[in-house]
Chain A
Amino acid sequence: MGARLSKKSEISSIDYSSPGGNVPPPGKPPRSWWAGTLAGNGRIVAVIAVAAWLGYMMEGPDSWAGAQSRMFMLMAIGVIMAVSLQLINGVCGQFSLGHAGFMAVGAYISGYASLTYNALDPGDLSTRYQNVAQVALYLVTLALVVTLVGAILGAVFLAIRQSRHLWRNLPPILMLVILAWFTWDFSAAFDFEKAPSYFIWTNIIRGLGTLFHAMLDHGMPHARAISLLLPVVIRRPLCFIVLLIGGGSFAAAAGLLVGLPTLRLRGDYLAIATLGFAQILIVIFTNSTPLGGATGLSVAPFANSANPDRDPVAHYIFPWIMALMVITIVAVWRIAYSPKGRMIRAVSEDEVAASAVGISTTRQKVTAFVVGAFFAGVGGTLYVHSEGYVNAEQSFGINQSLLYVVMVTLGGLGSISGAIVAGAILTMLPFLFRQLASDQQIPSWLQNVFEHQLALFALVLIVMMLLRPRGLLGGRELWWRRRNRNLQAAPAAGATV
């Protein structure tokens, strides 16, 4: 990439502004942010609307089997995940192996909120997904409590960090002491019904829990009243928007939490640390009783069908998924090919050089991580509400995380269109193989081969990687001309790992 950017003439000849991107000409008075965004991004809004409309139209009355519709939804979610991971792995060059963990955060938080609070009247199915305010209240309260926990822990860590001025080796020692205290506190207080006051940590946790429940208990009746005030038409869309933003924000917070300590690691170490964090999240979700434990979380899904004969109650999710896919692509695109994106790319090219020219590398890395995690959370929210069921181990396990990395790499590191293509193809392949396995037209021995979709999938992966080691597009976008092979070959080599 560096080689390409060094020539000025080439910058002007490449069309980076794919959808939209109108910059108001100089000289005119600046418009307000909203007006400017709407006017400048008219084409983007139109594309999103068209995607949603297409998604709505894609539901034929009976022509589509459920599996087909499901395949397209999973493809779109796969594209969301691949594109958001491309921002971290490809554009920023930070090799994250834990993307499914962020997806799990979004899926579980929003899934639990919608499972518990989405109905105005729990007995009446037709009021599902109408209780906007209660869902919002739950998410906000949870965010407040989580922030409080974060503040307490952050204060403790900062204090420990400051202790290095006293003695260089004090912070690790204090860390160990605090860790031992934590462990002793929790394991000893386990035996008490009401822990004595000297179990500080246990009492803090219990106190926060009490606070959380008190806030919810006091707020919920009012929230229900507010939900009833809203017009019926906008309740469901608004409820889903709240869920999406909530799921995304919690995933972004998780991204920040994971990113801040780990991003100073490099290459393989970062990869394995993110993998570890994702795995810890999965273990926590698997063992938490309110979230369904090992059996998984079942949520009343938005219907996969717009046909009122099939499901009169729920809201049709396909347009949402399509629109959010486009929004994700556009957002990641606008970040990747903006001045900010150039800074992020500079970090992926050479961290030392980037910091030497005054780029705050940590800031760029954390930005990429948080934005990527946000969209992963959105993808998780869409996943749980379209599938209706998630299981931490199966839906978001190591293999899923690896699959998203495979998508990004196979598409070509740094190429957003490559991630779109690879995300769609790799999600489709198992469905295709499954369909072929039950196809009566082909001979039975071939059917037997297609029975083992995942092994075949792995084989395709190995062969594709052997044939095109730099990914399908190798750092270009789909429509960039392959001007100079030697120059084009440079970017992927700069990637870490």
Chain B
Amino acid sequence: MHLFFQQLINGLSLGAIYALIAVGYTMVYGVLRLINFAHGDVYMFGAMMGVYLLAGDFSTYGAIVAHPLFAVPTALLGIAILIALSILKYKGISSPPWLAWIGKVVAAVALSVLTMEIAGRLIHWIGLPSWISFAITMLAAMIVCGALGFVIELMAYRPLRNRPRIAVLITAIGVSMFLEYGGQAIFGATPKTFPHVVPIAATQTHVAGEIAPNFVIHGITIGYIDVMIIVITLALMVVLRWIVMGTRTGMALRAVSFRFDTASLMGINIDRIVSITFVLGSMLAAAAGVLIAARTPKVDPLMGLMPGIKAFVAAVLGGIGNIPGAVAGGFVLGLVEVLVQAYIPMGSQYKDAIAFIILIAILLVKPTGLFGRTLVEKV
């Protein structure tokens, strides 16, 4: 029983991570019917940004981006373009599409560069308390990854919107490979360690001779980080629920995922909603990336592949396109994976297979997932 509760905590915190990623998958699938293979790599990117912000050492390529002589002009240019575009829109002058396109991309890049710059200065110049710098890191990573998701959708998926879905899927595979191997080129292939500048980032093990801060309740060790992961996940889910159920944008999002074409007839700006979907999903993935980097402090460019696919399994488990289902699926998957590792002999070797065995079982028994609606095909 003791072991069981211990594993329950571990499973919940792993499941929270899967849930955060799975929500992004399920939202994109719900709107575009696209398996966004690049989503796991956005999660990797978030973890990477966290490492760079907290460790503060930029490699050669990163140094260019982080250098004020690059960052400030880019940011100014981006802001100028944004202001110009909004003035044009306010005046009712339609700007040419290519200009708007370039403007959006530059603005997104500028926004992320500016965020990294400000967050880095805050963390390293003004010695803030560690939990505040961790919060800043997470927010900054979320903003940067939101911009990344926005740019990915704008550059890779939007031109293929009315093409066969298979083409978009292949492009998604391409984007995923590009982020992985481009990440290897920029960040280096060797795993990076998430710094211990934040005491809450210590895991249950003894780190560098000091005892990591944990709750111990009835002999069950609960790491601060596990509590943090679960609490932050739940908080983000509440925010997401408010956005999706409580705002006009969320209503539009639900409408688009219900009927794509009809929603555009109702005057909903589809492109904007799709962009928002990608930004929201990528932000959640970035939060998951920073949290997992704090829990198991190894970050490398290929780390997103497996969790990404497992999170997709979680989304299918809960009924793809269904946000509460994805959260439930993520928690179920995390719990089962951890419990199987703990209780079945050689379970840890086969832990990567567990997710797929569950997937196949659920597909064979109830293909629409736990909470999915049954669609009747009309001939």
Contacts and interface: CB of A to CB of B under 8 A. Distances in A.
Interface of A: 95, 172, 175, 183, 186-187, 190, 261-262, 265, 268-269, 271-273, 275-277, 279-280, 283-284, 286-287, 352-353, 398-399, 402, 405-406, 409-410, 413, 451-452, 454-455, 457-459, 461-462, 465-466, 469-470, 492-493, 495-497
Contacts of B376: none
Interface string B281-325: 000000000000000000000000100010011001000100000
Interface residues of B, number: 51
A462 B172 CA distance: 8
A426 to B, nearest CB: 11
A261 B357 CA distance: 13
B166 A279 contact: no
Contact of A466 (B160, B313, B350, B377): B160
23 contacts: A95-B166, A183-B344, A190-B345, A271-B35, A272-B35, A272-B359, A272-B363, A275-B309, A275-B356, A276-B359, A287-B349, A398-B305, A409-B170, A413-B166, A452-B185, A457-B177, A458-B175, A458-B176, A458-B178, A461-B171, A465-B170, A466-B160, A469-B164
A469 B156 CA distance: 12
B174 A462 contact: yes
B170 A458 contact: no
Contacts of B313: 272, 276
A262 B359 CA distance: 11
B204 interface: no
Given A283-B353, A452-B181, A458-B174, A409 B309 contact: no
A352 B379 contact: yes
B178 A469 contact: no
Contacts of B35: 268, 271-272
Contacts of A268: 29, 33, 35, 320
Interface of A is mostly: helix
B164 A273 contact: no
B352 A279 contact: yes
A272 B367 contact: no
B191 interface: no
Most chain A CB atoms below 10 A, which of B159, B160, B173? B173
B7 to A, nearest CB: 15
A269 B305 contact: no
B167 A455 contact: no
B167 A465 contact: yes
- List the 4 closest A-B pairs by CB distance, nearest first: A276-B356, A458-B177, A458-B178, A454-B181
Contacts of B181: 452, 454-455, 457-458
Nearest to A261: B364
B102 interface: no
B235 to A, nearest CB: 30
A270 to B, nearest CB: 9
A452 B164 contact: no
Contacts of A451: 185
Contacts of B216: none
Nearest to B179: A458
Contacts of B346: 287
A470 B352 CA distance: 34
Contacts of B365: 172, 175
Given A409-B167, A461-B170, A455 B352 contact: no
A452 B182 contact: yes
B163 interface: yes
B343 A495 contact: no
A187 B166 contact: no
B360 interface: yes
Most chain A CB atoms below 10 A, which of B170, B346, B360, B367? B170
B184 interface: yes
A466 B161 CA distance: 11
A492 B320 CA distance: 25
B241 interface: no
Contacts of B163: 469-470
Nearest to B356: A276
Given A406-B170, A457-B177, A273 B359 contact: yes
B165 interface: yes
Nearest to B347: A187
Given A405-B173, A455-B178, A462-B178, A287 B350 contact: yes
Most chain B CB atoms below 10 A, which of A457, A462, A465? A465
Contact of A455 (B182, B305, B367): B182
